[in-house]
Structures are given as C-alpha cells and as structure tokens.
Structure 1
Amino acid sequence: MKYIKLSVFAIAIVFATACKDNKKEVEETIETEEDNTVKLEKTEMKIKLDPKSGSNATGTIKFIEENGKVTMMAYLSDLDKGEHAIHIHESADCSSPDGKSTGGHWNPTAQPHGKWGSETGYHKGDIGNFKVDDDGKGEIKFTTDEWCLTCEDPTKNIIGKAIIVHQGTDDFTSQPSGAAGSRISCGAIIE
C-alpha cells in the first residue's frame, strides 16, 4: 500500500510538472504571436464646404485613412440638379469669393488632366463627377491608395490642399482642368 501511494504521488508530480511546462510553452507562443502582430492605424478627419461664386452649395466631407488607403465620403447640398465635378486643388486657401485662391488641380506627378485611372494620365486631384438629385443633394464615395493623411510623401499627402465643387461637369479631356466651370463650393483639408 505504501508503494502504491508513493507511485501515485510520483505520477502526480510528473503530471503537474508536465502541465506547468506545457502552460509555459503556450504563453511563450502567445507572446511570440503578439510580438509579430501588425497594429492597424485609422485616421479620420471631417471638413466643411462653404459656398463660392454666389452659390449656396455646401457640404461635408469625411476622409478615413485605413490600411494604406484613403476613403473620401462627400455629402453635398443646395446644388443644381445634374452632374457636377469635384477635385482636389493645390492650396487650402478658400479665402477668395470665387475659390480661385486654391490654385489649380493638385498634380504632384505632373500628369495631364484626365479621368482617374486613365492610361493617358490624370492629376491626383482629378476625382471626377457626381450626380445631384431633384432636392439639390449629391453624394460621392471615392477610395484610393494614391492619397494619404499621415504620410510624408508629397505625391500622396492631401493635407494642405482643398476640395472644390464645380458648377459643371468634368469632360476629362480639356487641359488643364476639364472645363468644369465655376468653383461653387470650397473646403480646406487641414488638421
């Protein structure tokens, strides 16, 4: 009986030690996996668009940078029904009544004006056209990996630029601006 108790005690010690060692391996594996985990950062900003050129056009634009891409969501109101162009311009200066203080389209890669993604070239500010309904409201959502909010790359960083909504549509061919008409709303992309 004494030998059985001693054997049971020895087996219990071996089992407890084995479990303790096993637990340690699991913890080390978890720590190793955590050390290799990539932390994803998300940056958001919201800007307001104000009327220009005697219009009443207003709106808000939200930018979200996540996983190396920027998504722009624009919500616009008090526009004429139909299609309107929207672009990023060179400077975050919306001080002039006609919006021309923002300069031309943002074009850090010195490409010709065109439709986004065109093989013949496009400005990084050439977003395109969007539709406005009978109530004067329009929306556009645009996602790209060619913009950033937090990087140091001057060919991608849109901070310090402006969003301009135009009275007309972008024809994607006229140089250098697409013949989109008056600048009727402006918002500075600033932190």
Structure 2
Amino acid sequence: MKKIQLLFAFILVAGLSASTYAQTMTNMNMSSTAKDNSIQHAVCVINPTQGNTVSGLISFTKVEGGIKVTADLEGLAPGKHGIHIHECGDCSAADGSSAGGHFNPMAMNHGAPMDAMRHEGDMGNIEANDSGKAHMEYVDHSISLEGSSSIIGRSVIIHKNEDDLKTQPTGNAGPRIGCGVIGIAK
C-alpha cells in the first residue's frame, strides 16, 4: 500500500511539473508574440478637401520616449497652418467635418504640442515656404500607436490658418483644407 501511495505521489508531482512547464512556455511564447506584433510605424496620406490643393504624407514612428512625427506637405499657401489629429478616421465630407473634433481622450484644454496639458491631437503648426511646401519633424511624448489612446484609425486635419495654440477648443485655425486617415504601416 505504501508503494502505491509513493507511486501516486510521484505521478502527481511529475504531472504538475509538466503542466507548470507547459504553461510557462506558453506564457513566454505569448509575450514574445505580443512584442513582435506591436505597432512600430503608422502613416497618413493627406488629400485636399473640396476646393483646396494640399497633399502629402505624415509618418508616425515609435522611438525611445515617444512617437517621431514626420510631415511633408505641398500645395499650401505660404505661412503657418494648424495641424491636428482628429477623433474620427473619416474624411468623406467635402469640408473634412466628418473627422470630428480634436482627438482629446483625457478631456484637456487645447494647447501647443510640447505642453504637458493639451489635447493629444494638438500638433501645433506646419510652416509652408514660398513654393507651398512644408516639412515638420518632432518627437511627440503624448500620442500612442497602441492602447486605448491610440491614434490608429483617426485622422489628421490640415487647417487654412495658423493655430494660435490657446483659443478653446480649436486654436482658431480656420477651415479644414486637408484630411487623411492614420493607418498601420509595415
């Protein structure tokens, strides 16, 4: 009887060890897979709203400490133009209004892109040269490509006027002259 009890105890311990090992390996594989599948890069192709000419590409790349934003646009009037991430990924309205308001999941006031308290969608201004071309590059410490505050599937709006970085809730940047939806890139 004692031998049977010892045999049973041995089988039980061996079975539990194998089960724990299998679960540990599964968890390690899931962690590895999740890490490999994280979003590293997103893009947004800007097209003009009705009656406008702006077009271009904006990229969002995960870097140490934030998201690197790189924008290259053309077809703009010379000067500064407000640029914002908007809550909806819908550019179907001729005037861009289907994109909704500024992306603001934390219910903050409008501000500058480097302000600690601001809409997550506040990207400030992009400045066009005399040829109507504009380039902007910075690291944004508030936006994310993943999670509940992800910018994936939202839109970027280019405005006709300069964002004054203070008027609530829009920065007084005027009509929407360009729109694009942010999507996952390889």
TM > 0.5: yes
Task: Tell me which residue corresponds to 2:97.
Answer: 100
2:132 alignment partner, SS class: coil
Superposition deviation, residue 80 in structure 1? 0.2
Alignment CA distance shift 1:160-1:42 (3 Å)? closer
Residue of 96, 121, 129 corresponding to 2:125? 129
Task: Tell me which residue corresponds to 1:172.
Answer: 165
Task: Tell me which residue corresponds to 2:175.
Answer: 182
Superposition deviation, residue 148 in structure 1? 1.9
The answer (yes or no) to whether the contact 1:92–1:190 under 8 Å persists in 2 is no
Superposition deviation, residue 190 in structure 1? 2.3
The answer (yes or no) to whether the contact 2:88–2:154 under 8 Å persists in 1 is yes
1:177 alignment partner, SS class: coil
2:40 alignment partner, SS class: strand
Alignment CA distance shift 1:116-1:160 (3 Å)? same
1:65 alignment partner, SS class: strand
Tell me the percent identity.
38
Deviations 1:74-109, CA, capped at 9 Å, x for gaps: 000010001111000001100001001000000011
Task: Tell me which residue corresponds to 1:21.
Answer: none
Query: Is 1:161 equivalent to 2:161 in the alignment?
Result: no
Task: Tell me which residue corresponds to 1:75.
Answer: 72
2:112 alignment partner, SS class: coil
Task: Tell me which residue corresponds to 2:18.
Answer: none
1:46-125 matches, cutoff 5 A = 46-118=43-115, 121-125=117-121
Quote the Cα distance in structure 1 between the aligned partners of 2:55 and 2:165. 24
The amino acid that maps onto 1:143 is V
Query: Is 1:145 equivalent to 2:141 in the alignment?
Result: yes
Bigger radius of gyration: 1
Alignment CA distance shift 1:43-1:107 (3 Å)? same
Quote the Cα distance in structure 2 between the aligned partners of 1:147 and 1:118. 13
Deviations 1:28-61, CA, capped at 9 Å, x for gaps: xxxxxxxxxxx89772232210001410111111
Q: CA RMSD in A?
A: 1.9
Quote the Cα distance in structure 1 between the aligned partners of 2:160 and 2:50. 9
